[in-house]
Amino acid sequence: MKNKAILTFLLIIFMIPAHVTFSDEVNIYSARKEYLIKPLTDEFTKETGIKVNILSAQSKVLIKKIIDEGKSTPADILLTVDAGNLHDAKTKGISIPIRSNKLMKLVPAHLRDIDNHWFGLSIRSRVIMYNPNNISPSKISTYESLANSELKNRVCIRSSSNIYNQSLMSSIIHHNGELYAYDWASNVVRNFSHSPKGNDRSQMTSVVLGKCDVTLANTYYLGKWITSKKEIEREYAKKIKIIFPNQNDRGAHINISGALITKYSKNIDSATKLIEFLASDRAQEIYAKKNHEYPIRQDIEVSNIVKSWGYPFKMDMMSLTTLGSLNNQAGIIFDKAGWK
């Protein structure tokens, strides 16, 4: 009987898939601020008993750290923004395919990696923002319109080194081709009111202060202004408007925050459960309302602020795997066009 029991135990052990572990913790390297995701990880811990540890830094820093740490990395999950960053992490060999039927059902196909290395967990749209006192929205209803000569000295946009702009350029390449993308970028550069400098909120401030009339920014930055503790930012929010571009054709450009499991994760089972939780209806609603982003499924409630901008809107449904794969071409075109 004793030998039979041992044999049964060994059979059970060898039948368990190699990627499954039994840890009660998971370690996240996060390019998102800890205060944004901690309410969700606290809920996950309460529900599952699995402890979550978070290390926050910029995406490039975290990817390099995981590479440098190699097999000794404590990181189980890389949580970051933009399909460009997620694609970069995958091409550098630090991720593995995630085996989860639940995630395949929860995350729409265009919002996940074609090989299931990463999955989108929230949506952001890079929209046109403008000063309603200085320009008519009918003049700027598409991304393409930003290249029109009548906007000379009226456009301010951040640097081409910014991943958000690189992904937008990738979408322009995908929909219009490289030659058009080069012409578009060159003409937008001619329309700059000043050389690119600062972040999205810097560009939005320039619009409010009359230093330019039009910019590109992610929607949630306006949400941050509207809910800011600073009176001046709340006042600025009243003086700028949003346009969701290309509503009569492909739809507004979108991107994601998303997650992958690292190649040398020690806690794959727990990491998979956490990503599944973050894609769940409950977590999606909490996150969308807290950060004024969009959930990955349109049947989930958004904040009143997001509703006030117009929701749902027509989104560009291009595969974000394609978006990431075009990042290098986007950088080359930006350089040729003189977009600093």
DSSP β-bridge partners for residue 51 = 25
When mean pLDDT is compared across 1-10, 168-177, 243-252, the lowest value belongs to 1-10
Residue 14 has pLDDT above 60, yes or no: no
Partners of 218 in beta bridges: 126
Q: Is the pLDDT at 12 greater than 90, yes or no?
A: no
Q: In the predicted model, what is the mean pLDDT of residues 217-237?
A: 96
Residue with tokens 């009660």: 24
What percent of the chain has pLDDT above 70?
Answer: 93
Structure tokens at 82: 């933009």
3-state secondary structure of 261: strand
pLDDT at 9 over 80: no
pLDDT of 98: 98
pLDDT digits (tens, 9 = 90+) for 192-223: 999 999 999 999 999 999 999 999 999 999 99
pLDDT > 90? residue 334: yes
- pLDDT category at 35 given cuts 50, 70, 90 is confident
Mean of all residue pLDDT scores within the chain: 92
The pLDDT tens digits of the residues spanning 102-130 come to 999 999 999 999 999 999 999 999 999 99
**Distance between CA 112 and CA 258 in Å, rounded?**
8
Q: Nearest to residue 92, comparing CAs of 140, 60, 120?
A: 60
| Domain 21-123+255-303 coded CATH 3.40.190.10 | yes
pLDDT of residue 11: 39
Rg (CA), the chain: 22
Average pLDDT for 3-15: 42
Residue 149 pLDDT exceeds 90: yes
Architecture of domain 125-253+320-337: 3-Layer(aba) Sandwich (3.40)
Instruction: Count the residues in the chain.
Output: 340
Q: Are 103 and 275 in contact (CB under 8 A)?
A: yes
Pairing of strands 51-56, 214-218: unpaired
Q: Which residue intervals of 191-314 are DSSP H helices? A: 200-208, 219-226, 231-237, 268-278, 281-291, 304-309
Q: Where in the chain is the domain with CATH 3.40.190.10?
A: 21-123+255-303, 125-253+320-337
- C-alpha torsion 44→46→51→55, nearest 10: 50
Identify the residue whose tokens are 């949003």. 242
pLDDT of residue 21: 42
Mean pLDDT within 55-61 = 95
As a whole number, mean pLDDT of residues 293-321 equals 94
DSSP state letters, 75-125 = -SEEEEESHHHHHHHHHTT-EE----HHHHHHS-GGGB-TTSSEEEEEEEE
Task: Give CA–CA dist 286/74, Å, rounded.
Answer: 28
pLDDT of residue 23: 55
- Give the burial string for 281-311 (b: 16+ CB within 10 Å, else e): eebbebbbbbbbbbbbeeebebbebbeebee
The mean per-residue pLDDT over the stretch 18-22 comes to 41
140 Cβ contact partners less than 8 Å away, ≥ 6 residues apart? 128, 130, 146, 151, 214, 243, 245
